[in-house]
Structure 1
Amino acid sequence: MKIIISPAKKMQVNSDILDGTGTPAFLERTEELKECLASLNKDQLKDLFQANDKITELNYYRYQNMKLTENLTPAVLAYVGIQYQSMAPNIFTTDQWEYVKQHLYIISGFYGLLKADDGVVPYRLEMQAKLKTKNAKDLYEYWGDSIYRELIGDKKEVIVNLASKEYSKAVQPFADQDTPILTCVFGTLQGGKVKVKATEAKMARGFMVSFMARENAGNPEDLKKFSEGGYCFSEERSDMWNYVFLK
């Protein structure tokens, strides 16, 4: 199985636990995006990011001085969002680290696709940002099907989708019947319908990654045992490629 997750906006530099040993698959294309972003002024970046002055200033400085091969942090340690806090990769055992290095992939608007131990630098660029490049009107067009092709490689495996719609959209439209995508939904029942709360879902996705790593999950059936954060697999509301967990 291959697991896809979203990145987080907030990032850190952390090379104390594990060196960033991997090289992102699309580093040359990331360099192109960096140059494009470095050519924008602060007002243009603020509009692109839809962010405040402090965040804009920080990332303007980042892009003006960014070197993609220095001061690297393993990707799964670089992101500091809710999902990553609940995943807690900083306390992974050696076996858990090996599991995520083999199975976990992070979809990124800036890097395209990252393995857990790929070395990255802090950046800000959401997949849905309307960044125009020389040959594309936005990042979805820029990456096209390349993220999906890199993800599946030569081996057809089930893709466990723990990413938000913003990021899974870079993969799902290109999948064929030979590459099944299993989407996990985390929610509560309200009025007979499954209601997904963004913050709780992010936490649950992180819990699921750590659960899979701890249990060395190897097939979809293993996911049904997940019960962290008060969630329980709902057989009646799930189907073959949509697993619903209710709290």
Structure 2
Amino acid sequence: MNILLSCAKTMSDVSKVKVPFTTVPRFQKEAAEVALQMSQFTVEELERLLHVNPKIAVENYKRYQAFHSEEVRELPALLAYTGIVFKRLNPKDFSDEEFRYAQDHLRLTSFCYGMLRPLDVIRPYRLEGDVQLPEEGGKTMFAFWQSRLTDLFIEEIRANGGILCYLASDEMRNLFDWKRVEREVKVVVPEFHVWKGGKLSTVVVYTKMSRGEMARYILKNQIKAPEDLKGFTWEGFEFNEQLSDDRKLIFTNGITG
């Protein structure tokens, strides 16, 4: 079973966690080109394109200006992203074996690097899927990556049993020819809902935390079959048989009012 997680908007270039080895991103060349094109934008343009405040725009202007410098620090992707999902995935206590298993079974989307393995070393950046690169004829990042990623993505899932546990945000499907993906491999989508006023509701922070916790659960236990995902529990969330089907595995917090 393979797992797909979304990249985080927040990143760090410092970590005390030791990993058994590091790798070079498969799309390093493309990432360098993307960063070069992003470096052409002004701070004001980045503020608009990235939907951020002036302070974050300045930070990322500096990142892109320095992206190709040998002095820029790199980190394995699993340690570089610092969003809620990655905090809950919490690789600080991973053994070497668990890092190696993650390297083979976990994939991270990236608008700059395309698709990453956990131990691919990357540089800090910020990018959105709807950004259009100056030299790509109006193509968004989604369109830029779709033709490059789909075959590799399907090939890797097939190599690990033909099952994908989709724990990424909905928009990340646009990085791939998703109809092909669903046609050629089995996609299982866990969803996490809470009861509010007698109705099921989605709370973004709980969804992100649960995705990180489930990814951790899969990697720690080397889960291979969708059936085994049903044993996942966290903070009151547990599998809801009645609401689930072969494709969607629904987890609720167990409170029905």
Residue correspondence of structure 1 range 181-196 to structure 2 within 5 A? 181-190=187-196, 193-196=199-202
The residue that corresponds to 1:42 in the other structure is 43
3-state SS, counterpart of residue 184 of structure 2: coil
TM-score (norm 2): 0.89
The residue that corresponds to 1:3 in the other structure is 3
Structure 1 residues 2 and 43: CA distance shift in structure 2, 3 A: same
Residue correspondence of structure 1 range 1-247 to structure 2 within 5 A? 1-14=1-14, 16-18=16-18, 21-67=22-68, 71-153=73-155, 156=158, 157-171=162-176, 172-190=178-196, 193-247=199-253
8 A contact 1:74–1:116 mirrored in 2: yes
8 A contact 1:128–1:139 mirrored in 2: yes
8 A contact 1:207–1:229 mirrored in 2: no
Shift of 1:132: 4.9
Aligned counterparts of 1:234 and 1:169: Cα–Cα separation in 2: 28
Shift of 1:130: 4.7
Once the two structures are superposed, residues 96-147 of structure 1 have per-residue CA deviations (whole angstroms, 9 ceiling, x without a partner) of 2222111100011111000011100110002244545424431111112322
3-state SS, counterpart of residue 228 of structure 2: helix
The amino acid across from 1:63 in the alignment is Y
3-state SS, counterpart of residue 57 of structure 1: helix
3-state SS, counterpart of residue 76 of structure 1: helix
Shift of 1:26: 1.2
8 A contact 2:143–2:175 mirrored in 1: no
3-state SS, counterpart of residue 148 of structure 1: helix
8 A contact 1:108–1:127 mirrored in 2: no
8 A contact 1:184–1:242 mirrored in 2: yes
Larger CA deviation: 17-26 vs 162-171:
17-26
The amino acid across from 1:237 in the alignment is L
| Unmatched tracts of structure 2, length 5 or more | none
8 A contact 1:145–1:174 mirrored in 2: no
| Unmatched tracts of structure 1, length 5 or more | none
Aligned counterparts of 1:152 and 1:14: Cα–Cα separation in 2: 32
